[in-house]
Chain A
Amino acid sequence: MLTVEHLCAGYDGTPILHDLSFHVEKGKIMALLGSNGAGKTTALRSVVGKIKPTSGGIIYEGKSIINMPTYKMVELGIAMVPEGRLLFGKMTVADNLRMGSYRVKNKRVIQSKLEEIYEIFPKIKERENQLAETLSGGEQQMVAIARGLMSQPKLLILDEPSLGLAPKIVKEMFDFIKKINQTGLTIIIVEQNAIDTLQFADYAYLMNSGENVLEGTGSELLENEKVKEIYLGIT
């Protein structure tokens, strides 16, 4: 569904990605793992057009999307839930969700999508008319994902969804991600929380200094000595 080939990118002449390649298959959960500064977020921002890559290719459903502006991504079916959630804090939760479906013109479709989301997240419905900034971290992350879902994406990109959440909430979040994947949605997830993520990811890439150093299915990587060494401290 999405193929990234030999991608190089960076900010203001500081290269961050050197030679990154990865591939996501339709209907799967793909995880990009790596320590802080490995270039995970840069990779995602390149995919959605926030950063112009210096070289390499990004192919989505057979077409190159490398110079496509960010705001056109949702029309292609790519939605990104950014790191730090980035909700519209001074807007109500309902308005945040409606903004998610800004490009959907059919009001009935929006309404049914909204109801669908309220069904999955009853907590959000309770908070419908509250300003988004007044919600707790976990609730805000739910709203951020829900806002991404409102555009009816085919590919959902999650950047550090567990950041700043309590362990119990993180578990809920991951359960939820599995659930939306089962509805047929393809998911790319970037996480520092590698061991937990590998439990449910179909395929994963381990990144280091702007390139992928290791790849395999979730269980393969869990067994890998290098992963154990980095993330569990077992040698």
Chain B
Amino acid sequence: MIIQCIFEGIVIGSILALISMGIALIWGVMNVLSFSQGEFLMIGMYLTFFFNKNLGLDPIISIPFTAVIMFALGVLVYKTLIRKALKGPILSQRLITFALSMVLVNGMLMLVTSEFRTIPKVIFTGTVDFGFLVISKEKLVPLMVSVLVTGALFLFMNKTNIGKAIRATSLNKDAEELVGIDTEFSYMLAFGIASAIAGTAGCVLSYYYYITPTVGTSFLLFGLIAVALGGFGSIFGAYIGGLLMGIVDVFAGVYFNTAFKYVAVCALFMLVVSFRPKGLFGK
């Protein structure tokens, strides 16, 4: 049972990790708190649903399309909203993504109603039974994709020139312009990449999860706490924070009750803050 819980926790945690890495990336690079990350996941889920219903695409196949659309959407949001807000007072910078998230959730509620939807048929179904652990293939897909996306992100940020430029932007904005990196370009890319990752998370989450306009809200809350837990600005910390959140979430739900999971997650966060104010990996 414990092993089963850990597995389920890692599955949900791997999705949370995708959300929290996006938040950490955006925060690290441009000091914007992205409250709309959960809604990007939700839109990713609806795109997946749309591709599935109208074109018969399996969620896995639609990942590249969804990712590209979400990247474009992220760039558009950056160009039209974030870039402008960054010129304004700090409170606007903090609130703008919150406002965007409200508009997206309620806009979607008007557009598609709060009806729960699911993807009726997916390629990978069935279970693998190890005796001590039953793995459903629908949950294995999100896990694998999350690991791949995370690996790709780390390679991109550490090995490519553009990735290094984005890191340079987060490390020192003054020096970064002096070596010829355009700060706004880095911002735009970071925002686009973070939304593409959230969209991809939406794709694979729809493999076994219901789709509704408010689905992103709880993912955002847990994702934010995961980032704070890992230490703001550290993408690796955000990833570990996400996994941890998932495990705590599942354990609290199974051994106490589902209502308790918010208590458990927030209590864990408070504990970490009181003992390590800068988070587990913050310096």
Q: Give A contacts to B, CB under 8 Å.
A: 48, 50, 69-75, 79-80, 82, 86-91, 95, 98-100, 102-103, 147-148, 150-151
Contact = CB atoms under 8 A, between A and B. Distances in A.
Contacts, number: 67
Contact of B161 (A71, A80, A87, A102): A102
A66 to B, nearest CB: 17
B164 A100 contact: no
Contacts of A69: 177, 182
Interface in B166-218: 167-168, 171-172, 174-183
Contacts of A71: 177, 180-183
A86 B178 CA distance: 10
Given A71-B180, A75-B180, A98 B175 contact: no
Smallest CB-CB A-B distances: 10 pairs: A74-B180, A86-B175, A103-B180, A70-B177, A88-B171, A71-B182, A71-B177, A102-B180, A88-B168, A80-B178
A91 B177 contact: no
Interface size class of B (residues with CB under 8 A): 10 to 19
B172, B175, B183: which has the most chain A beta carbons within 10 Å?
B175
Given A69-B182, A98-B161, A88 B172 contact: yes
B160 to A, nearest CB: 11
Contacts of B177: 50, 69-71
B95 to A, nearest CB: 24
Interface of B: 161, 164-165, 167-168, 171-172, 174-183
Nearest to A144: B175
Nearest to B177: A70
Nearest to A78: B178
Contacts of B181: 71, 99, 102
A154 to B, nearest CB: 14
Given A95-B164, A98-B164, A89 B171 contact: yes
Contacts of A90: 167, 171
A147 B167 contact: no
23 contacts: A48-B178, A50-B174, A69-B177, A71-B177, A74-B178, A75-B180, A80-B178, A82-B175, A86-B174, A86-B175, A86-B178, A87-B172, A87-B175, A88-B172, A89-B171, A89-B172, A95-B164, A98-B164, A99-B165, A103-B179, A103-B180, A150-B179, A151-B180
